[in-house]
Structure 1
Amino acid sequence: MRIFDEEFDMRSYIKKRLLEIDNLESRRVFTSVVEGMFLELHGEIEAEYKGLEQRVFEEVPMPVEGPAIITNIIDRRLYDVTDDFLLPMRPEDMRPHQVDAEALLTSLNEKSPFFLYTVFLQADHLEACQFDRPERNFRGVIKTRHSEYTAQFHVRRNLAYRRQIEDLYRIFHLNYLPWRSVCAPYLYKLFDVYIDGIENWNAQEMIEEAVIDFEEYAPAIRYHQVPLWNLETVAIRTSTYPEPCVDKINYEHRIFRHKFQEDARYLVTNSDVSVANIRWTKGDLLITCPLEDPVTWEMYQCNPQAKREYPNRLMGNAKQVSFADTLMGVFRQPIKTKLELSRLIQACGYERDLTFAGVELVANFPDKETYIVDDFIRDELRTGTWKTAMRLDFQPADYDFYLNRDIMSFLVGVVQRHFPEYECCGRLV
């Protein structure tokens, strides 16, 4: 980012000023002097200034950060299998779900709910909380080739994909990278549908379809939805024979840069190897571990954002870095003012959806409109329990956008990392 955001065109400015000189002879002299000397001097000064600016930027080290994680969701029937940017979080989602009739019969005989499939609720966070009631039953029909049977169903929040985000927290630490909260609102609107019972069901028949009456939630239910992210699972083997380290315990495994995609970033994901250090040197990856033989390393390839069109919005945690923010990160300056807090929120890149409207410290905030995106972090050190809440107010650009409170939860989560002494909550105003 340039120190001065607006580019000043000196030539255009001079042309406008020339038109204000009525005397043609004076205008000719002015043009000769300016173009012959002043513009050349201005060009030299601008070039020197840009060089000085670049040297200042290069002397300030950029803070080490993890790769940007981008999420989305799409109808399985609309997904392009040649997409090399976003991939299914679970590859098995691309296969149509088949109901195991034998497992269903066993489950019903044991009076145990049987998982049917996962649905997406395209609704606001507060409405999703009302939908999340396992004690509520829905009526529906099970269709086979020859018959239809009345059945009872209930829903539970799907947590499988959110556990993959939780595993990313471990992977970031494995790669010696500071954690970055992930903006994945679609994952909080996935619900698993379970069959509680089927009336007079003939266990010999194969289930072809289950039609459920979700009552007031029916208009918001979406089927065949597949969560996506920009992480691709790859395996890369150590390029050379590992070199022993001076500690006589570990070995340094090197992977040459030509094995990596040039514009992608990589995260080592091996959970079965005790990794002592991970570092990058001139594009090569060096992994220190006790294994003395070459290893096939499991990795996430973090694909850079591509210009592709999707039915739903891309949601990411990329940070808009400014020179001032870089200096704050280098010198570890804490956030002390509302202006600095506003700049932190704006850097998340969602200002076109939510505008930060204010902050207030309150004794309690019972009617919470946000959830904790990093609720899986349990090793954070805090000084006692929360006694004060920090309430963040946001004004939405579109009050009907169903992801408003989910985006707000992500922004509140970013702020929470900077203020562990407060319970950070958000509300729409």
Structure 2
Amino acid sequence: MIKELMIERLRKIEDLEQRQLLKDIVSGVFVNLIDYQEEMNNKLEERVFNEMEDVENRFDIFVTLSHQEDIDPIHQCLFPMRPADLESKTIQLNKLLQSLERNEQAVLFSLFLTCDSVQIQQLLAEERLFNGTIVTTAGPISIQVSLTRNTDYLQEINKLYPIFQINGLPWKTINHPFAYKFFNVKLVKCSPLNEDAEITQIIVDLEEYEVNKRLNVVPLWNIERHEVKNIGFPVPAIDKVNYEHVLSFRKMGNEHGYLVEADGENVRYIKRTDNELTVVSPQDKSGIWKLLKVVKMEEEKLGKLNYELVSNRRIEHFTTKFASKHSSNVKTKGEIIRMVNTFDAANKFELVDIEIVNSFLEASFTYCANPFITEMLGERSHKKIMLLKFKAKEEKDFLANDILSFLVSEVQRHFFEYKCVGVWL
């Protein structure tokens, strides 16, 4: 800016000899001085920014979906939430007979529906039965099935919360819109079965939801499971009661985040350095420790994705780092808007208005994405409602309500004195 101003002033000097003389002086002294000053300013800005260490960004969770046949078993960034999803599954007719004899509804398979959260809730509330066919070597068998929510992936998310607590790390709501759209297909009624036959195919007609049905899709995230042995022998901790177990992740890369997956009773606290974790535990013998590696996402390593990649990542700004380090809440509309806009997930939405009301009887488009945080739950009937009014910047897809629920749940986590509800304008 200063350089351009000086050049502009030089151009206005009519005497060419004086202009050349002044240009030589400016180029020889002042330009170098300006460059040096700008370089020092940039270094100072970078130093201040880096001093606000943001440990949180090493534990950003990215999720997507993939067709089972497209999953890369040696992918560097994305891994199945449940390794069992990659195993081939077969259903035995004799097991189905046993379930029917016990009046139990056997799970035939699971599926994914590309429906928004309102349609999902409506489908669950209706408790509908759908017709289908089990194709066997002895012929087709007519069946009726029901759909119930598959909570396997929600349970995987729930398991992360106590792990973050044990590791002494702040919790951030997981943005996983896909996890809420999986269903178990359960057998309710069927024609007589031939116990000696084998199942070759199961066909289910979901009627108007048939266009939304997706089979053999698997949720992926950037969490990889590892088992690590102690470095050396445990040494007594400073309290002379517990022992320090040193776990090295140098070979796995120190740019990633690492979580010790252990029982809370077996871990007192965890210390972190650039290349090691020190687990303080009452356990006095060396052993194998389970680690969750939260892989740093690199776009060039992603490859082709079948579905959108979403995350709970915050945009890196100085104000974001400063606010996370100094956790006192500023109870203003501007602070809530800033909080929402720090997330990558908010780039398609705009928080237009916030209103505090005594009651809200209309249908909400959002749900709680942190039901396991028990200290924030409890009786809410006496709480006022914080109505968060959003506007979509582009046409909403089937994930929009779920991502909105993630953003509202993050606000709820900071403003637990209200019941937060999200609506579209």
TM-score by length of 1: 0.91
For 1:340, which of 335, 339, 344 is the aligned residue?
Answer: 335
CA distance in 2, matches of 1:101, 1:272: 42
Q: Secondary structure at the match of 1:239?
A: coil
Residue 47 of structure 1: aligned partner: 39
For 2:315, which of 300, 313, 320 is the aligned residue?
Answer: 320
Indicate how the Cα distance of structure 1 residues 289 and 259 shifts in structure 2: closer, same or farther if over 3 A, else same.
Answer: farther
CA distance in 1, matches of 2:330, 2:136: 61
CA distance in 2, matches of 1:52, 1:112: 67
Is the 1:66–1:177 contact (alpha carbons within 8 Å) kept by the matching residues of 2? no
CA distance in 2, matches of 1:131, 1:279: 47
Indicate how the Cα distance of structure 1 residues 349 and 21 shifts in structure 2: closer, same or farther if over 3 A, else same.
Answer: farther
CA distance in 2, matches of 1:63, 1:88: 25
Is the 2:134–2:143 contact (alpha carbons within 8 Å) kept by the matching residues of 1? yes
Is the 2:57–2:314 contact (alpha carbons within 8 Å) kept by the matching residues of 1? no
Indicate how the Cα distance of structure 1 residues 58 and 113 shifts in structure 2: closer, same or farther if over 3 A, else same.
Answer: closer
Residue 425 of structure 1: aligned partner: 421
Deviates more, 1:276-285 or 1:324-333: 324-333
Q: Secondary structure at the match of 2:347?
A: coil
Amino acid in the other structure paired with 1:349: D
Residue 407 of structure 1: aligned partner: 403
Indicate how the Cα distance of structure 1 residues 425 and 280 shifts in structure 2: closer, same or farther if over 3 A, else same.
Answer: same
Residue 353 of structure 1: aligned partner: 348
Indicate how the Cα distance of structure 1 residues 170 and 211 shifts in structure 2: closer, same or farther if over 3 A, else same.
Answer: same
CA RMSD of aligned residues (A): 2.4
Post-superposition Cα deviations, 1:125-157, rounded to whole Å, max 9, x if no partner, equal 111112224731001111113411211011000
Indicate how the Cα distance of structure 1 residues 201 and 286 shifts in structure 2: closer, same or farther if over 3 A, else same.
Answer: same
CA distance in 2, matches of 1:257, 1:90: 23
CA distance in 2, matches of 1:384, 1:154: 33
Alpha-carbon shift at residue 253 of structure 1 (Å): 0.9
Deviates more, 1:131-140 or 1:296-305: 131-140
Alpha-carbon shift at residue 88 of structure 1 (Å): 0.6
CA distance in 2, matches of 1:109, 1:205: 18
Identity of aligned residues (%): 30
Deviates more, 1:209-218 or 1:254-263: 254-263
Amino acid in the other structure paired with 1:327: F
Is the 1:161–1:187 contact (alpha carbons within 8 Å) kept by the matching residues of 2? yes
Is the 1:63–1:326 contact (alpha carbons within 8 Å) kept by the matching residues of 2? no
CA distance in 1, matches of 2:51, 2:69: 50
For 2:60, which of 49, 63, 68 is the aligned residue?
Answer: 68
Residue 3 of structure 1: aligned partner: none
Structure 2: give runs of 5+ residues left out of the alignment.
none
Amino acid in the other structure paired with 2:173: S
CA distance in 2, matches of 1:112, 1:381: 33
Residue 379 of structure 1: aligned partner: 375
Residue 4 of structure 1: aligned partner: none
Total equivalences in the alignment: 421
Structure 1: give runs of 5+ residues left out of the alignment.
1-7
1:7-406 equivalences under 5 Å are 28-29=20-21, 31-57=23-49, 59-60=51-52, 62=54, 67-133=59-125, 135-271=127-263, 274-307=266-299, 308=302, 309-366=304-361, 367-380=363-376, 385-406=381-402
Post-superposition Cα deviations, 1:286-322, rounded to whole Å, max 9, x if no partner, equal 1111111112101111111022131111111112232
CA distance in 1, matches of 2:153, 2:127: 23
Is the 1:386–1:422 contact (alpha carbons within 8 Å) kept by the matching residues of 2? no
Alpha-carbon shift at residue 418 of structure 1 (Å): 1.0
Indicate how the Cα distance of structure 1 residues 56 and 305 shifts in structure 2: closer, same or farther if over 3 A, else same.
Answer: closer
Amino acid in the other structure paired with 2:142: T
Indicate how the Cα distance of structure 1 residues 197 and 22 shifts in structure 2: closer, same or farther if over 3 A, else same.
Answer: farther
Q: Name the structure with the higher helix share.
A: 2
